[in-house]
Amino acid sequence: RHMAAEKDATVPELISLTAKTGGSSILVTSITDALAFLVGASTVLPALSGFCIYGGVAVLMCFVLQLTWVLPMLALNVRRASDNRYDCCCCFKSSVDPHEIEDPQGCGCCVYFPSCKPTD
Write out the residue range of the structural domain in which residue 89 sits: 2-116
d(CA 101, CA 83): 17
- The residue type found at 51 is F
Mean pLDDT of 86-112: 68
Mean pLDDT of 24-35: 94
Band (pLDDT 50/70/90 cuts) for residue 3 is low
Cα 96 to chain center, whole Å?
A: 27
The pTM is what? 0.65
- What is the total count of domains within the chain? 1
The pLDDT of residue 21 is 84
